[in-house]
Amino acid sequence: MVAFKSSLFFLASTIVSTNALPTPYSARSLQARRPAVGQSITLSKTINNVATGTFTTTGGPVTFTMAGKPLGGGSAGDVFPVNCGSNAACTALGPVVLKFYTDTSQVADEQQHLAKIGELKAVSTGAGDKLTLMKGFTGKKLDETDAYLALTDKVTDKTKLDIPAITKLVNDAATLAEKSGFDYLIQHQILHLDINGGNVLFTESGGKITTGQLIDWDKAAIIPAAQIAETKAEVTRQKINFNRFFETPATQKREADAEAARKAKAVTAKKAAPRPGAAAAAARPAARPATGPAAARPVVAPRPGAQPAVPPPPAARLPTPPGQKN
């Protein structure tokens, strides 16, 4: 327990020392006007010092146009695609994306962290919009990959969700995110403090996740070289943020299984229930014996000494008149 507390204290003190603590909302400076698609923007190219995490804006102008809607976003701002067109300075930077900050209190931290890892390309200067041109990566968020969708959203019968397969896919993705975090920590002495499904881009092949790339560096901390080894545990701890990717399907399956069981129970109960009217028929009293001439009467034996009844003589037949046939 003591070691755990001291580790937490070290991490907290490191974050404070690098100004990486989130700024309270009441102190944040917000800007709401986003660049329009097709708008031409010119920024200043940066010269990065990866050793110190600092940069200068003396690299010259870089011009490009906004190429589309946001690729994604977070608490600090939104990321947009850009088109370098024929601008040589822009194309020389390689794949890039533009970040527009809705929360300008996070601009300085992220630009410092991007300079530290060598991914800062150009920035806005002056009192205008706060913009950062940074290295762009290909890939998708985990819940947008074909591999994840094939196991989740595309399964219409949620009782058939393959939870072990989903769990394995998510664990593999979390391990790749952890590897990316280790790589940055070891190579650049920087700790990503917000490893989650929205801040990792994955590539895939053959239905499997193959690589994971950390993005979004507004929340990070520069770590002294002597403390890198003990900081690795924090990278591993953040893997828990991927739990929701298999917890949500697991919850869907539990709910679907419960609903299927409820329906099956209702069907069984319906089959076992008596048919309509059967109970009333069983409770109806037995029919009374029939009476009247049609009813069978018991034969009564004659009393001793009684004379048997003599049937009356047949009625006398009148003679047939002459000439009339009988």
Calpha distance 99→74 (Å, rounded) = 10
Residue 295: the pLDDT is 56
As given in the structure block, the two tokens for residue 288 are 């009374």
Task: Give the distance, in angstroms, between the CA of residue 113 and the centroid of all CA atoms in the same chain.
Answer: 30
Q: Does residue 323 have a pLDDT over 80?
A: no
The closest alpha carbon to 122, from 137, 111, 113, 108, belongs to: 111
Render pLDDT for 220-251 as a digit per residue (tens, 0 to 9): 999 999 999 999 999 999 999 999 999 999 99
Render pLDDT for 92-146 as a digit per residue (tens, 0 to 9): 999 999 999 988 999 999 999 999 999 999 999 877 789 999 999 999 999 999 9
Residue 44: the pLDDT is 97
Q: Does residue 217 have a pLDDT over 80?
A: yes
pLDDT-derived band at 297, boundaries 50, 70, 90: low
Residue 17: the pLDDT is 42
